Amino acid sequence: MNKLNLSVIPGDGIGKEVVPLTLNVLDTLASVHGGVKFEYEKYPWSCEYYLEHGEMMPKDGMAKLHQSDAIYLGAVGNPQLVPDHISLWGLLIKIRRECEQVVNIRPAQYIKGVKSPLAEPNDFDFVVVRENSEGEYSEVGGRIHSGDDEIAIQNAVFTRKASERTIRYAFDLAVKRSGKVTSATKSNGIVHSMPFWDQVFKEVGTEYPNINIESNHIDALCAFLVSKPHHFDVIVASNLFGDILTDLGAAVMGSIGIAPAANINLNGNYPSMFEPVHGSAPDIIGQGIANPIGQLWTAKMMMDHLGLEELGSLLFKAIKETIGEGIKTKDLGGLSTTEEVIDYINAKILT
């Protein structure tokens, strides 16, 4: 029996509602497989934990995570309780960085039964490969002067190492997909980091002569995700641009509630982390209507990552069929509760 140790962090808000329920689905998948078992180490790290302990996770928390095979996260943050920069930099971004999850992979595709806000969503299917360790998200910077003269300076730090590995990941992915990579840039307005990014993109591109490459400014690219999402296959982007493009991808799919993300450690020295793109949604807590699809699609990515692709495919098939059969939450125009959707998917996997 292959025992896989999963660190489970439900986090805040709907994360706490959805994550525990989806563990049943993981167990079902394991039982279907027969040769694998998931063991869960559950951690209550969250904004509430912070209010009690003055930190988002205990000092030895990271060491515990490091021992697991993967981290399964719900959602982090609840600005009503704890300012975002504390909760996120103390948990989500901290794990991404200290577990060296240097790329963030976020697929978006047209799913039958999910009503896209687009009039003609046209079967799009793209993946955003997002730099996940540096860039515009940086603690380097500060303020000077006060009152009317106050100035805030924010540094964005782009290393060749991080840019290159992200871009290379995108090209490698494109080799396995349709052979096209689009780079998000803004070198016409942002004149130090973005021309550097463009240069690395071009250089790595020469190693992949069979891959089609294009570069779009982030403003135009956002517009294109709305006007022609089917045009794209692999999109590679900096931390901030990847963040923006993936929320937009989720919007174009029809709901932020279904979008998944995988924070990948490329060296295998620490675990990767799997989290939905959505936040903790404090506004719908306790109603039982949170959409579990983002969390489950995330679990599918975790299966694939753990080498259990057949379980990943099984889960994804069950997800799509369930939505296709109209079993879906309110945000997708359905009437089902979180639990009903999960139960249905569970049952599908077993048949």
Ligand X SMILES: CC(C)[C@H](C(=O)O)[C@@H](O)C(=O)O
Nearest residue (CB) to a copy of itself, 116 versus 178 = 116
Find the shortest distance in angstroms from Cβ 53 to a copy of itself. Answer: 21
Among positions 39, 139, 309, 310, the unique one binding a copy of itself when judged by CB under 8 A = 139
- Interface residue with a copy of itself among 104, 109, 182, 193 (CB under 8 A) is 193
- CB 259 within 8 Å of CB 297: yes
Q: Which two tokens stand for residue 201?
A: 């993109």
From its phi and psi, is residue 115 left (phi > 0), alpha (psi between -120 and 50) or beta? beta
Q: How far is the CB of 151 from a copy of itself (least distance, A)?
A: 5
Half-sphere exposure of 159 (CA within 13 A, CB side): 9
Give Cα separations from 304 to 239, 264, 314 (angstroms): 23, 12, 11
Q: Which residues pair with 234 in a beta bridge?
A: 127, 181
Which does residue 248 bind out of ligand X, a copy of itself, none, counting CB within 5 to 8 angstroms by kind?
A: a copy of itself
Decide if residue 248 touches a copy of itself (CB under 8 A): yes
Site residue total, ligand X (CB under 6 A): 7
d(CA 345, CA 261): 20
**Which residues make Cβ contacts (< 8 Å) with residue 298, sequence separation at least 6?**
72, 260, 261, 262, 274, 275, 276
Among 214, 219, 309, 325, binds ligand X (CB under 6 A): 219
**Contact letters for a copy of itself, residues 256-295 (x by CB under 8 A):** x----------------------x----------------
Rg (C-alpha) for the chain, rounded Å, is 20
Q: Which amino acid is at 247?
A: D
Binding region for a copy of itself (CB under 8 A) = 77, 84-85, 88-89, 93, 115-120, 136-139, 141-143, 147-161, 186-197, 218-220, 222-224, 226-227, 239-240, 243-244, 246-248, 250-252, 256, 279
